[in-house]
């Protein structure tokens, strides 16, 4: 029974940035992390964690190798490689949060839209909207500042941001860009054997 999820980056509007994914129920949360990275075109350069959409919950699903496990109670930190989606998602409408880059703090709201009856062995991207923000731009608020600067040639950081993004003379950053074909190709070709090359800081 695969899950259909809508995953939207919080605090980003005009345009919103979201992806709709179909994911097998037996995938681990680590595999889910890699699928989300591919769908949004993140670079998997920072730590991540999953948590309930509930400010009173202390549960965290993450890569235990990146955490000081002595800081957590036994039932608070769960290894993302040892828990499957079906262990957490039980009903349509259920919500969870995926946080990528614990410095910039990109929070993605995960909504379980459907639990389908079809057999599925690979994940897929069904739809989406909005260009994924560039890595290390300062989170949602930094991204909004980047938008303002790029829209105004007289802005004091306009040239600096263009240079940082590697934009050519007549090239613009397209905030609305989304290619379903590219997202599908990325999701369908995720390498689940890759190793993290970063440390939690």
Residue with tokens 């074909």: 181
pLDDT at residue 201 in the model: 41
| Average pLDDT over every residue of 57-78 | 74
Distance CA 103, CA 92 (A): 31
pLDDT tens by residue, 83-104: 999 999 999 999 999 999 999 9
pLDDT at residue 65 in the model: 80
pLDDT at residue 75 in the model: 57
User: 198, 165, 191: which is closest to 37 by C-alpha?
Assistant: 191
pLDDT tens by residue, 129-141: 999 999 999 999 9
Query: Is residue 34 within 8 Å of residue 43, measured between CB atoms?
Result: no
Give the start-to-end residue ranges of the domains of the chain: 3-131+174-188, 134-173
HEC readout, 74-143: CCCEEECCCCEHHHHCCCCCCEEEEEECCCCCEEEEEEEEEECCCCCCCCEEEEEECCCCCCCCCHHHHH
Structure tokens at 42: 């993140």
pLDDT at residue 144 in the model: 93
Architecture of domain 3-131+174-188: Roll (3.10)
Distance CA 61, CA 138 (A): 24
| Average pLDDT over every residue of 25-32 | 96
Distance CA 40, CA 135 (A): 11
Least confident stretch, 22-26, 74-78, 172-176, 197-201: 197-201
Residue 32's H or E segment, with its range, is helix 29-40
On average, the pLDDT of the chain sits at: 89
């Amino acid at each position: 029974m695969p899950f259909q999820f809508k995953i939207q980056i919080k605090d980003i509007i005009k345009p919103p940035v979201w992806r709709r994914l179909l994911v097998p129920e037996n995938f681990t949360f680590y595999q889910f992390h890699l699928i989300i990275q591919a769908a949004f075109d993140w670079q998997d350069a920072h730590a991540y964690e999953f948590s309930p959409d509930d400010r009173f919950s202390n549960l965290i699903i993450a890569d235990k190798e990146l955490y000081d496990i002595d800081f957590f109670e036994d039932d608070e930190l769960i290894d993302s490689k040892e828990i499957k989606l079906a262990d957490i998602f039980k009903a349509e409408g259920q919500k969870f949060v995926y946080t990528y880059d614990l410095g910039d703090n990109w929070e993605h709201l995960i909504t379980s839209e459907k639990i389908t009856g079809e057999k599925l062995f690979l994940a897929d991207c069904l739809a989406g909207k909005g260009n994924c923000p560039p890595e290390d731009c300062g989170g949602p608020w930094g991204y909004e500042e980047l938008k303002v600067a790029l829209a105004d040639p007289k802005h004091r950081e306009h040239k600096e941001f263009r240079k940082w993004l590697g934009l050519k003379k007549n090239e613009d950053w397209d905030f609305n860009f989304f290619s379903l074909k590219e997202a599908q190709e990325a999701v369908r070709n995720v390498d689940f054997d890759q190793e993290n090359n970063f440390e939690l800081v």
